Structure 1
Amino acid sequence: MLPTSTDVLVVGAGPTGLAAALTLARRGVAVTVVDRLDRPPATSRAAVVHAYTLEELDRIGAADPLIERGLRSPRFTVRDRDRVLLTVPFHTLPTRYDYALMVSQAVTEEVLTGQLTALGVPLLRPYRMTGLAVDAAGATVTFDGGATVRARYLVGADGMRSTVRQQAGIGFSGPNDGEESYTLADVRVSSALPRDQVALFLARSGPLVWAPLPDGVVRLVAAVDEAPAEPDVAYLQALLDERGPARRPDRLVEVLWASRFRLHHRIADTFRAGPVLLAGDAGHVHSPAGGQGMNLGIVDAVDLGTTLADVLAGGPETLLDGYAARRRPMAEAVVGFADRLTRLATLPPSRRPARNLLLRLLSAVPPARHRVAMRLSGLDQRERVAG
């Protein structure tokens, strides 16, 4: 049952909302999490947790239990069919998490939910937000059926179609207002590709991400013109044949699940409107190239939870303006990086030889490889915050 009041109400029980709530709960803040779904989804888009995200999760006691459930990937590769154009090793990263952790978003949510449950934080389902009234002392949130919750602060972690953002009147725009269509699936394949590294295949028809997960599972994500509602074996095999290895092609053995999604490249006009604060996909959406979306959302969440806890402990409200000022430029940088990776994949044939040569030159220069590793891992964000 919904409480009548709480210090912080988090709308959305994905990784971002759960991480924000856990950060607050670790600081002793009264926090309530609500979600419109009656149960967490068993399938999910994100499949990688980067080094900086693991550092932030470690701050709230969630890194180690997640690492136990994942697969460590020591490098990232960019390929054009059989040619490896760029290899990005993570062993030079200035962190003890010198790898990318391959783990399903569903497992990430399970770990964070377990931590919250142990702290006695209520996670309430299904409650669909329908209204918002804001005043100088906080926010009153209305749900289906007319129930209301009074909160000093409201966190919108409810995805790219965020009701919180819309009700707060925060704009959501970007340089690319057209929708992009993606196919995603968890499969088992017979493949010669290494099972400890993510491969981004650059193909004229669009990028294909090949990401190993624990237990021999491979996550496929591909930008397509129009994704079918339920991609089948034949469709996914055709994607692998068109974009994946050619000399020793992958052979699809089993489709565990498959789906589609659409998204825009957009960023919220602001991450704060009075007592309303945004994090994760509610504040930014972009191409999945590079696996940056969920990671940026979790980093948003820990920053927001820490900042809110400081304010509720007596710190000045202006700290929340600082959160908004920090997070929007980070979102702009990540959205731009993901967009550039996508554009690399879809260059016309006349420009692909120059692109491939450039990537090979980058791969041969250690400082250049390191800069790419810093960007992929999110550790460049840590440097910006410290600077």
Structure 2
Amino acid sequence: MSAEHATRTGTGTGTGTGAGTGAGPATGAPPDPLSTDVLIVGAGPTGLALAVDLARRGTRALLVERGDGLFPGSRGKGLQPRTQEVLYDLGVLDAVHAAGTRYPMMRVWEGDEPGQEWDMMERSEPTEQIPYAEGWLIPQSRTQEVLYGRLRELGGEVRFGAALCGLDQDTDGATATFEDGSTVRARYVVAADGGRSTVRRLLGIGMTGETVDPKPMLVADVRLTADAPLPDTHWHVWPKAEDGTVAFCPLPPDSPSQEGRQGRLFQMAAQYADESAVPDATPDGVIKLLATRTALSPEHIAEVPWTSDFKARAALADRFREGRVFLAGDAAHIHSPAGGQGLDTSVQDAYNLGWKLAAVLAGAPERLLDTYEEERIPVAAGILGISTRIHRASSEGRRTRRGGEMRQLGIAYRDSSLTRETRPFLTDDALRAGDRAPDGHRGGVRLFDAFRGPHWTLLTVDTGPQLPSEDGELIRTAHIPEEYEAYGRGVFLVRPDGYVGWAGETAEGAEEYLAEVLHRHGAVRDGEALAQ
């Protein structure tokens, strides 16, 4: 579930500073509404990722958050390999890796007695094509801190304490009203304000879903004393506890803001066997639960800084767009926490939408924005099914090994209206337009570095003479002189979000494709990349 926060992006365009309410004229008239291109509501991982992406594109954006600060809990604590690739492109992966760790082994307990150990994760070694092969354990609060730091590097800031209460649209934009009486006029609005989205409610968009498990759950961050009997080398589980399963996962070392606090932090996830139980989400309630169901005693618990109770649901918004307003993240889809898919899917919503918003604001046809819903609804629906299946298997006591489908590397847009595959006679396992563009180090180039940034990339693989280098804002070129098994051979237009948009045996047709998608001409002609 996404946190709700507020951020404004200043991107060198003269619109990134100030609180946004302005000062009224001397006559006493009400202040003019703040104007921006994109209003992002909610500064959780979704909103922050979108704000970073827009900031690096020079797009005017305002990110607002009803809370007084960034969400403080560990909630969405896993980053899948595909999300790590997104964060590499956004320039924050080194900081994310420094703030996190690999997932630990599981250790099963019966009361005070430790038992069998097993690995819930399917371990994979990095390859040339997949440099980040495993999930990464990092509390949601730390992921947000890293994204927020990157946003500030790009000139942005978060406007906290901005609670949305009204939203009106017309043919030119939308006007948002806040509880303090201020208004914001934006050409587009993105709802990243979580599962209880105010924006979704104001739009009247329903959600279709189901209760994944009727048994209540309680999640909490728990800091243990130094002498607590649970080492931070394992993810501890009490599957046979009388009142319901408890899992206790060690979290990475504290951020600088938390240094000096006693003991290490864990995330507790407890399920209640009684469907009618009412979880006690107070710190005292968490301490009592742990003392009853685990090997911990009350004196081992130094602090309970965050708690949340819920029943696992899976739900999908009936649509992801209403006029000039878009839903992203938990505002669009609600996942069971099982499998660690919700935050990842949310960040990738932002990554899909960001380049499209920037392109349309720069003159691309409005229909490009229709492809956000077209591409992301099937993805979200599929991942909801995965999360639900894993949750139910775990709830029934079946061990589920988290395998390749969890990594989100197989997500593709082959059926999208943006996708053009023009090469005949491809084998079943060939890379096709719509697929994720793999990494590689060939011809003195790392492909992820060639793709990195807000541009499209024209990649040629074993096609003869290299195309002239193009360093324009719209498109850049990269060349691999020999066949590379990840791509075969051919010419590939890689979208700004790292998916192959167009593929051909030669560059013929690439220019027409870009002209259709972006209303830009002259990008590629007669096999040459021309200056913009």
Shift of 1:42: 2.6
Give the whole-Å Cα distance in 2 for the aligned partners of 1:14 and 1:139. Answer: 22
Task: Say if 1:206 and 1:346, in contact at 8 Å, map to a contact too.
Answer: no
More displaced, 120-129 or 173-182? 173-182
Letter in 2 for 1:70: G
Q: Deviations over 1:260-280 (max 9, x none)?
A: 232532111111111111111
1:186 has 2:221 as partner: yes
Q: Which residue of 2 aligns with 1:233?
A: 287
Sequence identity percentage: 35
Aligned match for 1:46, one of 76, 83, 104: 76
Tell me: CA distance 1:250–1:344, structure 2 relative to 1, closer, same or farther (3 Å): farther
Q: Which residue of 2 aligns with 1:338?
A: 387
Give the whole-Å Cα distance in 2 for the aligned partners of 1:334 and 1:180. Answer: 22
Question: In the TM superposition, what are the counterparts of 1:55-204 in structure 2 within 5 Å?
Answer: 55-73=85-103, 82-83=115-116, 87-92=120-125, 95-176=130-211, 181-188=216-223, 190=228, 195=233
Give the whole-Å Cα distance in 2 for the aligned partners of 1:105 and 1:153. Answer: 27
The answer to which structure has the higher strand fraction is: 1
Letter in 2 for 1:232: V
Say which SS state the counterpart of residue 232 (structure 1) adopts.
helix
Shift of 1:193: 6.8
Task: Say if 2:67 and 2:160, in contact at 8 Å, map to a contact too.
Answer: yes
Give the whole-Å Cα distance in 2 for the aligned partners of 1:179 and 1:28. Answer: 46
Task: Say if 2:74 and 2:221, in contact at 8 Å, map to a contact too.
Answer: no
Give the whole-Å Cα distance in 1 for the aligned partners of 2:70 and 2:147. Answer: 12
Counting matched residue pairs gives 358
Q: Which residue of 2 aligns with 1:2?
A: 20
Say which SS state the counterpart of residue 18 (structure 1) adopts.
helix
Aligned CA RMSD, in angstroms, stands at 2.9
Aligned match for 2:374, one of 325, 330, 334: 325
Say which SS state the counterpart of residue 291 (structure 1) adopts.
coil
Aligned match for 2:310, one of 253, 258, 262: 262
Give the whole-Å Cα distance in 1 for the aligned partners of 2:77 and 2:368. Answer: 32
1:210 has 2:228 as partner: no
Tell me: CA distance 1:104–1:87, structure 2 relative to 1, closer, same or farther (3 Å): closer
Tell me: CA distance 1:335–1:256, structure 2 relative to 1, closer, same or farther (3 Å): farther
Task: Say if 1:203 and 1:345, in contact at 8 Å, map to a contact too.
Answer: no
Give the whole-Å Cα distance in 1 for the aligned partners of 2:90 and 2:219. Answer: 30
Shift of 1:226: 2.7
Say which SS state the counterpart of residue 411 (structure 2) adopts.
helix
Tell me: CA distance 1:69–1:85, structure 2 relative to 1, closer, same or farther (3 Å): closer
Say which SS state the counterpart of residue 131 (structure 2) adopts.
coil
Q: Which residue of 2 aligns with 1:246?
A: none
Q: Deviations over 1:310-343 (max 9, x none)?
A: 2222222222221112211222122222211221
Q: Deviations over 1:41-93 (max 9, x none)?
A: 332412222211111111111211111111123x7759696455764333246
Shift of 1:128: 0.8
Say which SS state the counterpart of residue 121 (structure 2) adopts.
strand
TM-score (norm 1): 0.82
Tell me: CA distance 1:76–1:138, structure 2 relative to 1, closer, same or farther (3 Å): farther
Tell me: CA distance 1:251–1:145, structure 2 relative to 1, closer, same or farther (3 Å): closer
Tell me: CA distance 1:289–1:125, structure 2 relative to 1, closer, same or farther (3 Å): same
Bigger relative contact order, structure 1 or 2, given CA contacts below 8 A and separation 6+?
A: 1
Q: Which runs of 5+ in 1 are unaligned?
A: 242-248, 360-368
Letter in 2 for 1:325: E
Say which SS state the counterpart of residue 22 (structure 1) adopts.
helix
Task: Say if 1:180 and 1:262, in contact at 8 Å, map to a contact too.
Answer: no
Give the whole-Å Cα distance in 2 for the aligned partners of 1:114 and 1:92. Answer: 30
Q: Which runs of 5+ in 2 are unaligned?
A: 1-18, 22-33, 254-263, 415-433, 437-532
Shift of 1:103: 1.5
Aligned match for 2:340, one of 253, 270, 291: 291
Letter in 2 for 1:336: G
Task: Say if 1:46 and 1:294, in contact at 8 Å, map to a contact too.
Answer: yes
Shift of 1:183: 1.3
Tell me: CA distance 1:180–1:55, structure 2 relative to 1, closer, same or farther (3 Å): farther
Say which SS state the counterpart of residue 319 (structure 2) adopts.
coil
Task: Say if 1:18 and 1:113, in contact at 8 Å, map to a contact too.
Answer: yes
Give the whole-Å Cα distance in 2 for the aligned partners of 1:78 and 1:50. Answer: 22
More displaced, 172-181 or 337-346? 172-181
More displaced, 197-206 or 8-17? 197-206
Say which SS state the counterpart of residue 301 (structure 1) adopts.
helix
Q: Deviations over 1:155-210 (max 9, x none)?
A: 00001111111112211121338876321222356456772x65777559665443
Say which SS state the counterpart of residue 380 (structure 1) adopts.
coil
Give the whole-Å Cα distance in 2 for the aligned partners of 1:262 and 1:319. Answer: 37
Q: Which residue of 2 aligns with 1:244?
A: none
Aligned match for 2:270, one of 215, 218, 222: 222
Give the whole-Å Cα distance in 2 for the aligned partners of 1:288 and 1:260. Answer: 12
Give the whole-Å Cα distance in 1 for the aligned partners of 2:73 and 2:324. Answer: 32
Give the whole-Å Cα distance in 1 for the aligned partners of 2:240 and 2:382. Answer: 24
Give the whole-Å Cα distance in 1 for the aligned partners of 2:232 and 2:413. Answer: 31
